[in-house]
Structures are given as C-alpha cells and as structure tokens.
C-alpha cells in the first residue's frame, strides 16, 4: 500500500507536500512549527491539514501492522491463498480488513463450528452444486452427535448461516442498505410511559438513518444509556430477500434447507452484527461532528479579545454563602478579597454597598466582572443600583464562568493561591478572564469550558486530543510573552515540556526578565531542537532586538536584517519609523517585487511574506482585531421583553441546531439554525429581534437583524 499517494488523494494535496510533511513530523517537529516556519517544504499547509496528514499516516501505519497480524494468523491455520493474501494487502480500510478476517478469527465455538468439526461441511457445499435428495444424502453423514436427518439438517443450516453472515460481500451490501434505506426507531420503555422526560421527542420516533442529524443520534444514545429509551433499527424485508437470492440455487428442495440457514444466519449473526456496526458508524460520525463544533467554538473562545488596562472588581455570586469579590490590578495581580450578601436570602444592600465602594476607591477599580452562574442576575441588580445611586463612571460585563470551579479546586490554583479559599480563587479566575482570557482558559481542562454540544457523550479520548490541539494552535498563533507567561501557558508553546515551562519561570524569578530569546539555551534541558521549535512563538516586548517582539524566528533574523538594509532601514526602525511600513506595504501585494526580493535574499515567497507581515505589525495580537465584549451600565428583566423588541447580544454557544445569545438576562435567547449564517462566530456581537416569548418556560426566540 502506497501510503503517501493514498493520503495525498484523500486530502487533495500534492504527493511532495505529504512526503515532506511526514518527514518533518517524523523528525520531531511540532505541527505549529511546521505550519508557521516550514511553509516552503509543505506548500503552505495549515495546522489542520498537517494534523490530518499525521492522523491518516498513523492510521495507515496501524493498518499495515494489523495486516501482518492477520496474514500470520490465517497462514498458521493453513488457509492463506495467494488471492486472499493479495486481497488483504490491497485493503485501505480497517472495516474491509475486519470483514475479510472474520471467518478466520479465533472466537468462541459456534454451532456451525461444531457441525463443521463433525464433517457436515461437504454436505452443505453439495446443496449449492447439485440437486440432492437430502434425506438420503444426510444418512451418509450420521455420527454420535448428528444421528438423525433433522439434526444433520439443523447442522447444515448453521453452517450455511455462518457462511452467509461472514460473507464479506453480503456484509458490505447490507451495511450499505441500512445506511441508505434503514430506519432508526426509538420509544420510551414501559416504566417511563406516563412520566414526562427530556426525551419526549423520541418517545415514538422513527426516521430514515441517512436523514437523522448527528446531534439527534447523540441525544437518542443518551436516552438509551439512561434507560429511558429503547432503540431499534429496521429495514424492509425486500432488502433481506435480495441478499437471500444471492445464495439460492435453481433447485427448489435444496433452497428450502438453504433458506433455513439464511434465516438462522440473518437473525442470529448477520443482522445484529451489522446493526452494531451501523450504530458505531453513526456514533463515530456524530462524535466527530460534535468534536468539530466544540473545537471550532473553543478556538473562538480562546481568541476572546482581552480588555487591557482595566482594574477589575470580579464577583463570583452565591446565595447563602454570599458573593465573593476580589480586586485585581491591570495585570491581573490579586489585591484584596471580601464577601458581600446583596442577594437572597440576606438582601443586605447597605453593608454590601459600603464594602464595594471602599474597594473601588482604594484600588481605583474601573470595571466590574460578574460571573454568569448562580445568583448572577440578582448581583447584576445590586451593581446597577450601586452605579446609578453613586453615579459611578463604571460599566459591568458578564463573564462565562464555565470551568472556574474546576480551576479553583485544581492543584495549579492551590500553587498560585495557597492561602485563599476555593471560591476566592474562582472569583480571581473570572476577573482574569477579562484581562487575558487565553492565559486563564489554558489553566482549565478544555472539556470543562462548556462551548459544545453533547460533549460528555462523545469519545473522550478523541475529544481531549482535538481540544488540546486547538489550544496548542491558538497559543502559538497568538504568541506568548516570555516574561509574564504562567507555566501552564508555556506548556502549550511548541517544543516546551511542562518541566521546561517550570524552569523558565524559575529562571525569571532568580535572574529577572529575559532580554533575548537566545537566553533560553541557558536553561537546563532546553536543547537546540526544543529552542528551534519554541523560539518564534515567544515574545519579548522590550528585548535587546526589536525582532524579539515579533513572530519572526531567530533563524530568519539575518535575512530580515538584509531585507531592511535593502531599503535603507535597520531593525531599530521598525519600532518608530512609519516609513518602513509605507515601503514594505507596497511590496506585500506586488507579486513581481516579491519574486525579485525572494531571489535577492535567497528566501522562499511564503517566508518572505511572513517576514514583511510581522514587520508591518510588530507585536501584533490577532485577538485585538476582533470585537470587544459588550459592557453594560443598566439592566433588563424578563418582564421588560416584548415581541418585536430589538436588542444587542453576544453569541455564547454555537450548535448544529442553532445559537445561544446572551442579551443581559439570566435566560439566553435562542436563534434556530435556519436563521443562522455560517459566518457567525462565538463572542460575536449581534443585533437581534425578539420573535417569541414563552413566559412559562422562560424561553426567548430571536432572529438576527442587519
């Protein structure tokens, strides 16, 4: 099997791109490094394409290993023919290989195996080759176990049934039939018949498999797992009969016995086995879709723009235990904490007012961040009342606190704030998510960030791998400040292990800030390979060389210097000289000038364009190009809502069935998928109109307006 050709065809890329990418991966280069700094070698493949190459290469490598195992096992049984060997070697899918191997696989002895051991296989074969009088023929195969015509007939039926159930052609055809014409049914179990559950839509459900949305599969599976639903797959009898005809002969009496075998094989082996395969295919497809959505949403969440230079009052609300409040400076440094009780059952506005005002004045706080969990809307009422009463020049915003409790109880949080209570750590996390969302989100297991659909029902290993790769890609895309990054953030930088991340922070504490990237080589364990992988993604904002604040890799410093010198500039000019930007921007969009420069500097076009892009925007943070979060100074209640009312809101979750929008209420608004454009992003500010209100269930339906 020619793996490189197969991968290239599947991904619609050139074979040289696949070959070079695999070689880079096998030489311990990370995906972010390859994508960013080896564009000439890969033909400018992005992270997703490189990861797919990696995934498919590993799949085919494992398939080749399994082929070796299968060939060895069949050979040991003395059943390996040249034709079978060629068929196995030609397999490009694991499912194909499994279907070929099935008749030879070691398994618990079946009724058919017992019949074969007792010599009935020749009689079974005879039925397909000539017309026979079965009673006479059967008498020649009697033994101690099969000592009557009926027992021999039953044994032969079992053999035929097993042949039929293990036939690769039959299995693949039935799988195709079920995927295209099969119907999935679900209904509530008897014990839930008169109990209302969240699975009412599936209490008497039937839909053709090929038309069922992926998210519906996951919902049905969850209902089945929780013991509420019973699930079946059905197919029209005509498809079964089509398969049976492939095994029937021109002799009617022979066919009567053959049909008994086919019915036995269908009911006891073939149909249940293929149904299991179909359920697994549907589950895998639905898992992949849910993981894809979660990954896309996570990517957008991690790119949430920071609100810089704000001194934060962060609030983690609660009823009986009160609201934990913390003051943070503009760098996220913890200053002070307290507890207030402005919400039920205490409703202590007076004392809460005094505490909050003192903190605001003491630390010159200018933005309030409220976690969007328990008691958040009651806290919002108190904050709006306070702002209005004292005419405070402040605004507030809601912060998605998903995962804050996970972080606050983690080992990392204990190391950061050993003296503080769990709830106070949670409030700190909420506040820091405003100042630098990415730096805070990386401290939390991605699965706990709550921006997916059915994330607890999908393959958790696959989910973790995908989400970890998203975090890695975004961290490296944004870049990391070498002098301020936490060990957890540094762990996601290409080429940096958790151990090296800790050593970097220890180095800073002991010797002060880094002045140039090369200093990293002084850290024990940081070899040349690790340095090569990580250097370009680390930023030093006030280093010796202005290029240290860019995404330009040290291996390209010399080339960058020559590029600037060609136009009469030096690296110091990129900080203050606008003429540099004027000259380089004219080159960036001129393909002829780029080609000429590429030859002069002996550097690839992709790399050259990246160098110019970085010089045009030194120290650029890609998150800053996205819209800032909505800030409020007033309040809206559910009772204020009216159909037709127009509002602004923030997209908080995107699913296959629609999107959820925070409009400043405890209840999010929902926009059905048919009204949603593909271009909608998480955190996007949208103008919406209320189309319906369900007062009983507190549901708000919206549509986007331009």
**Cβ burial 640-661 (10 Å sphere, 16+ → b, else e):** ebeeeeebebbbbbbbbebbbb
pLDDT given at position 668: 86
Kindly tell me the sign of the dihedral angle through the C-alpha atoms of 512, 514, 518, 524.
positive
- pLDDT at 453 > cutoff 80: no
The pLDDT assigned to 1 comes to: 64
Query: Is residue 431 a contact partner of residue 365, using CB atoms and an 8 Å limit?
Result: no
536 vs 454 pLDDT, higher one: 536
Mean of the per-residue pLDDT values for the chain?
A: 93
Cis peptide before 172 (omega within 30 of 0): no
The reported pLDDT for the residue numbered 683 is: 85
The stretch 76-91 carries a mean pLDDT of 95
Return the pLDDT at 500.
Answer: 97
Is it the case that residue 31 has pLDDT exceeding 70?
yes
DSSP string, 178-193: HHHH-EEEEEE-GGGT
What is the four-CA torsion angle of 528, 529, 531, 536, rounded to 10 degrees?
A: 130
User: Which range has the worst mean pLDDT, 32-36, 169-173, 517-521, 692-696?
Assistant: 692-696
For the entire predicted model, the pTM comes to 0.87
Q: For residue 196, what pLDDT is reported? A: 87
The CA-CA-CA angle for residues 123, 128, 131, to 5°, reads: 85
Give the per-residue pLDDT at 83.
95
Terminal-to-terminal C-alpha distance of the chain: 53
Q: Is 671 exposed, middle or buried (0-12, 13-18, 19+ CB in 10 A)?
A: buried
Instruction: Indicate if the pLDDT at residue 60 is higher than 70.
Output: yes
Rounded mean pLDDT, 631-641: 80
pLDDT tens digits, 460-482? 999 999 999 999 999 999 999 99
State the DSSP H helix or E strand holding residue 688, giving kind and residue range, or none if neither. strand 685-694
Residues 578 and 94: their CA atoms lie apart, in Å, by 58
Q: Is residue 50 predicted with pLDDT exceeding 90?
A: yes
Confidence of residue 187 (pLDDT cuts 50, 70, 90): very high
- Looking at the predicted structure, is the pLDDT value of residue 49 above 70? yes
Placement of tokens 């400076």 in the chain: 329
Whether the per-residue pLDDT at 633 is higher than 90: the answer is: no
pLDDT at res. 611: 96
Q: Domains of the chain by range and CATH?
A: 3-104 (1.10.10.650), 111-293 (1.10.3500.10), 312-469 (3.30.420.140), 505-625 (1.10.150.310), 638-704 (2.40.50.140)
Q: Which of 402, 11, 148, 550 is nearest to 22 (CA)?
A: 11
pLDDT of residue 493: 98
More confident residue, 578 or 660: 660
Average pLDDT over residues 596-607: 95
Whether 526 and 547 have beta carbons less than 8 Å apart is answered as: no
Q: What is the mean pLDDT of residues 406-414?
A: 93
480, 535 contact by CB (below 8 A)? no
Task: Classify residue 108 by its DSSP letter.
Answer: S
Per-residue pLDDT at 51 exceeds 70: yes
Lowest pLDDT segment from 153-167, 291-305, 572-586? 572-586
The one-character DSSP state at 632 is: B
The closest alpha carbon to 23, from 34, 32, 12, 7, belongs to 34
Range of lowest pLDDT (308-322, 446-460, 667-681): 446-460
Query: Would the pLDDT of 286 be above 70?
Result: yes
Q: Using DSSP bridges, classify how beta strands 685-694 and 699-704 pair: parallel, antiparallel or unpaired.
A: antiparallel
């Amino acid at each position: 099997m020619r793996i490189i050709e197969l991968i290239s065809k599947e991904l619609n890329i050139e074979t040289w791109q696949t070959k070079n990418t695999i070689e880079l991966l096998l030489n311990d280069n990370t995906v972010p490094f390859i994508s960013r700094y080896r564009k000439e070698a890969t033909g400018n493949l992005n992270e997703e394409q490189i990861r797919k190459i990696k995934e498919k290469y590993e799949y085919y490598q494992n398939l080749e290993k399994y082929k070796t195992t299968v060939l060895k096992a069949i050979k040991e049984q003395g059943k390996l023919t040249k034709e079978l060997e060629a068929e196995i070697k030609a397999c490009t899918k694991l499912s194909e290989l499994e279907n070929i191997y099935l008749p030879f696989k070691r398994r618990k002895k079946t009724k058919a195996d017992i019949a074969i051991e007792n010599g009935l296989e020749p009689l079974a074969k005879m039925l397909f080759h000539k017309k026979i009088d079965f009673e006479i023929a059967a008498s020649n195969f009697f033994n101690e176990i099969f000592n009557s015509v009926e027992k021999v007939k039953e044994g032969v039926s079992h053999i035929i049934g097993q042949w039929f159930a293990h036939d690769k052609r039959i299995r693949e055809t039935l799988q195709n039939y079920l995927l295209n014409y099969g119907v999935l049914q679900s209904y509530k179990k008897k014990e839930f018949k008169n109990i209302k559950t969240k699975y009412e839509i599936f209490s008497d459900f039937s839909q053709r498999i090929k038309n069922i949305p992926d998210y519906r599969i996951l919902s049905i599976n969850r209902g089945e797992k929780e013991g509420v639903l019973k699930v079946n797959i059905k197919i029209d009898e005509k498809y079964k009969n089509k398969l049976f005809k492939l095994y029937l002969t021109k002799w009617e009496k022979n066919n009567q016995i053959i049909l008994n075998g086919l019915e036995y094989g269908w009911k006891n082996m073939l149909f249940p086995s293929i149904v299991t395969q179909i359920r697994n295919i549907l589950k895998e497809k639905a898992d992949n879709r849910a993981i894809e959505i979660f990954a896309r949403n996570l990517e957008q969440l991690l790119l949430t723009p920071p609100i810089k230079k704000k001194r934060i009052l962060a609030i983690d609300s609660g009823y009986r235990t009160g609201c934990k409040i913390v003051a943070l400076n503009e760098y996220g440094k913890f200053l002070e904490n307290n507890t207030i009780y402005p919400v039920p059952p205490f409703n202590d506005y007076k004392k809460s007012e005094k505490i909050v005002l003192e903190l605001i004045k003491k630390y010159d706080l200018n933005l309030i961040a409220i976690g969007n969990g328990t008691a958040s809307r009651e806290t919002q009422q108190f904050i709006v009342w306070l702002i209005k009463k004292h005419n405070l020049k402040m605004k507030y915003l809601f912060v998605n606190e998903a995962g804050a409790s996970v972080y606050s109880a983690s080992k990392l949080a204990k190391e950061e704030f050993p003296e503080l209570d769990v709830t106070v750590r949670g409030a700190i996390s909420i506040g820091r998510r405003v100042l630098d969302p990415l730096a805070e989100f990386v401290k939390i297991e991605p699965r706990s960030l709550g921006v997916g659909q059915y994330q607890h029902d999908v393959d958790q290993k696959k989910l973790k791998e995908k989400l970890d790769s998203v975090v890695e890609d975004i961290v490296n895309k944004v870049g990391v400040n070498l002098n301020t990054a936490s060990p957890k953030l540094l762990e996601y930088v290409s080429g940096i292990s958790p151990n090296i991340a800790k050593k970097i922070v220890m180095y800073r504490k002991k010797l002060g800030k880094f002045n140039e990237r090369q200093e990293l080589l002084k850290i024990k364990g940081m070899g040349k390979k690790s340095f090569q992988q990580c250097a370009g993604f680390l930023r030093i904002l006030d280093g010796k060389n202005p290029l240290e604040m860019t995404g330009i890799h040290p291996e390209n410093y010399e080339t960058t210097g020559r590029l600037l010198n060609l136009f009469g500039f030096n690296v110091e000019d990129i900080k203050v000289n606008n003429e540099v930007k004027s000259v380089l921007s004219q080159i960036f969009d001129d393909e002829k000038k780029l080609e000429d420069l590429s030859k002069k500097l002996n550097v690839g076009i992709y790399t050259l364009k990246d160098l110019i892009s970085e010089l045009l925007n030194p120290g650029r943070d890609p998150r800053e190009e996205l819209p800032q979060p909505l800030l409020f100074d007033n309040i809206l209640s559910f009772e204020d809502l009216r159909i037709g009312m127009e509002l602004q809101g923030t997209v908080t979750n995107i699913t296959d069935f629609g999107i959820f929008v925070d409009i400043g209420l405890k209840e999010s608004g929902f926009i059905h998928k048919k009204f949603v454009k593909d271009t909608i992003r998480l955190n996007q500010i949208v103008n919406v109109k209320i189309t319906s209100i369900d007062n009983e269930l507190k549901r708000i339906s919206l549509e986007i307006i331009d």
